[in-house]
Structure 1
């Protein structure tokens, strides 16, 4: 494949769009070895590539991540690359990449996360949603609380404080959001003390546990990398207990499904509305739908083949399409026969990143309380169960590779079976209680 060569300046870098399947490197047309790497998430990092020693094809190729675009400007990135390339040229046998690895024992948590996000995550092909979650955890919590600490100095007590801080901050954000909404409804700048206490008390006691545990999990992974690279001798996160979480099991009722579909019909952007319809009708995950391309579909055969790079289980998933889901897709294709992505972003060359704002509108219009986008997937499973679909078939439709994953819906199946048995029993009783028709003997005489 030919190298992508451009002038690496602010205007050109700002215009670079991510590829939904792989990271892409663009090389500078002036400084050989200097490039910018664009991840599937849209994250852009400056890199420099060289061959140590005397160079030549026999020497191994090295790559150094200089820093993230935004933190470094194009000029700063190019200057950093020039210094490294000059060092390789000036000192015989110089290998800055190896020297940097040796010096990393004294790195801070901020630098550890830079390595995690810029080097490790792309090299092992972590899902875009996983990388995004790690970036959010770092930006909102890790950087503020332990970012400046030396990796080797982080103790379990530091992570316990971080864990507790996330819990407090998430709860406080929820309270402030509820207070703001209440003030808006009352058209008042302040609320009474009693009203404020009631709102604070309305925030669930377990609020924030999920986020706190996710942040701890991200830090644990980063510390595992530090352990693997010899930057410390243990993982301090292993001594910190996660908070208990209530397993979410939210399914839309028949009336909520009706209101949801009415909201989809009312939404101004019907292409976005189709994304929500497909999430419900197919049970696919959000990233699978948003990153889908038309070459994954055989609309004549009614088949959606999701590539392994798009699925959570990292395996190709073949989904049979029928009924309304197939109708929606055929209608979409007829209206946009030349697009690559089903749901393109503003540039039309990359997929839409999220559905956050449209989802808030849909929820408000349909009056859906406590519903996440992922609950549409659970709702499909519950509807399939109510129609008598076996768990094994449901697991295949949802792309589960382990029966235990689908078994979470077993209690719904049991409830459906009880209701069906009850309905049958009631019918039997009703038949028995009906008055018997009078039996008129047939006259045998002719």
Structure 2
């Protein structure tokens, strides 16, 4: 299509077709707007890279429609065509500045994916970063375009030997990464080696709920002075059980997010960046939750509630930093899991016993404490829909978009029921003092009193 002046009205009226087509501008030869079968539109120029009829014809994208108005795109195209007349080749320059497929390593590709896609589009990008650690370590200097489905299968088998769920999550992240990397305009890899790969490990629904005896063991065991975990970690785990919040929401609690903490109705206002669906959530705090927070902030009265002594990372994002005292940073969700799991010995690094092993408990995760708390509240008489509200489980229908009632009174009642049930379960604190030594009366050896010499 040709011979038309490219205007906003013309561009807006261009409809997608079964195949790609271009409308050329009547004012500036070589300038046009391309329409892809997907409906995507972009301003382009076509030119010969060199002189004579044998010079290769190149196409160069000036800008996507929407980023530049037609008049501005035409002006930019005129400048480019003028530079081309003086010997420039913008398409070749663009290719030269783009990472070449035959030398881009997987580690470089993974970082590009995190910076250009995950951090831009996903609030959970740190999960992607975590699941890419093992692939990056294994394929660090491998050329990304040469990684095959067999390489991926081998990696997933290694991960799945100890962490089948982790293998599935790694597979999902790799699928997204390679799909992004092969899109037109990037072409960092020719194919997606994960495209036709089925999920290798069957996941069972998570149903672990701690028994009353396990709850009592854990609750008081977290006070054990020999516990192989820091006090903030122990308090953050207890906070999950007392509130039903997600592990990351417990670990990330900041003092400014405590509203009315010294009053009769203390609340935790969870910010959007730590909530699914990106909205603020209010969680009422019962006395058990308040007690955990009070002890934590007695150690650190600003910034993060559950903080650890660590050197701040100068390269970390601003969102990851707090106004905590120098050296104090919020603990992480992963730190909670690591404290429960412990770690095996590796090289010169000694083994570290986990909380579960120390207390002689069967496997459970921080998230299982949330499920346990919900079960306890329901058993205590809390209504299912009220427990659902405190868990922040959203309805997926249209009505939920308009119904903004926060159910705070109902959630407060659930928190009170949960507190009462937990107090029944944990009872009074066990006496961990050294047992009294009892002497058998028949097994006592008499000690003769020393004779004192009396002067005559």
TM-score bracket relative to the smaller structure: 0.5 to 0.7
Separation in 2, partners of 1:283, 1:262: 19
Corresponding residue SS for 2:272 = coil
- Per-residue displacement from partner, 1:297-338 (whole Å, max 9, x unpaired)? 11133111111111244322211212311233244445543x
Compute the RMSD of aligned alpha carbons. Answer: 3.3
Tell me the equivalent position of 2:108.
111
Tell me the equivalent position of 1:148.
142
Separation in 2, partners of 1:296, 1:100: 49
Aligned CA distance change for structure 1 residues 399 and 96 (closer, same or farther; 3 Å): farther
Match of 1:225 among 149, 158, 180: 180
Corresponding residue SS for 2:273 = coil
Deviation at 1:403, TM superposition (A): 6.8
Corresponding residue SS for 1:247 = coil
Aligned CA distance change for structure 1 residues 290 and 370 (closer, same or farther; 3 Å): same
Tell me the equivalent position of 2:223.
265
Q: Is contact 1:306-1:317 (8 Å) kept?
A: yes
Number of residue equivalences: 272
Tell me the equivalent position of 2:330.
351
Match of 2:290 among 314, 326, 331: 326
Separation in 2, partners of 1:241, 1:382: 34
Structure 2: unaligned runs, 5 residues or longer: 1-62, 64-87, 311-326, 343-353, 398-456
Aligned CA distance change for structure 1 residues 239 and 94 (closer, same or farther; 3 Å): closer
Separation in 2, partners of 1:95, 1:324: 65
- Per-residue displacement from partner, 1:109-140 (whole Å, max 9, x unpaired)? 33211212344333335436414423433245
Tell me the equivalent position of 1:310.
274
Q: Is contact 2:268-2:282 (8 Å) kept?
A: yes
Tell me the equivalent position of 1:236.
193
- Per-residue displacement from partner, 1:348-392 (whole Å, max 9, x unpaired)? 443124235543443123221111122111111211221232332
Separation in 1, partners of 2:270, 2:159: 36
Separation in 2, partners of 1:350, 1:94: 47
- Per-residue displacement from partner, 1:16-37 (whole Å, max 9, x unpaired)? xxxxxxxxxxxxxxxxxxxxxx
Structure 1 runs of 4+ with >6 Å offset: 92-97
Deviation at 1:230, TM superposition (A): 3.4
> Normalized against structure 1, the TM-score is what?
0.54
Match of 1:383 among 361, 376, 379: 376
> Normalized against structure 2, the TM-score is what?
0.52
- Per-residue displacement from partner, 1:93-116 (whole Å, max 9, x unpaired)? 999995566344333333211212
Aligned CA distance change for structure 1 residues 352 and 289 (closer, same or farther; 3 Å): same
Corresponding residue SS for 1:397 = helix
Separation in 1, partners of 2:127, 2:112: 15
Separation in 2, partners of 1:129, 1:212: 17
Aligned CA distance change for structure 1 residues 345 and 98 (closer, same or farther; 3 Å): farther
Separation in 2, partners of 1:257, 1:94: 67
Q: Is contact 2:135-2:155 (8 Å) kept?
A: no
Q: Is contact 1:137-1:218 (8 Å) kept?
A: no
More helix by share: 1
Q: Is contact 1:113-1:138 (8 Å) kept?
A: no
Corresponding residue SS for 2:279 = coil
Separation in 2, partners of 1:264, 1:97: 61
Tell me the equivalent position of 2:206.
248
Considering only CA atoms, is the larger Rg found in Structure 1 or Structure 2? 2
User: Does 2:304 correspond to 1:341?
Assistant: yes
Match of 1:364 among 348, 357, 369: 357
Match of 1:396 among 384, 389, 398: 389
Corresponding residue SS for 2:235 = helix
Separation in 1, partners of 2:168, 2:364: 21
Q: Is contact 1:154-1:236 (8 Å) kept?
A: yes
Corresponding residue SS for 1:345 = strand
Corresponding residue SS for 1:355 = helix
Q: Is contact 2:118-2:125 (8 Å) kept?
A: no
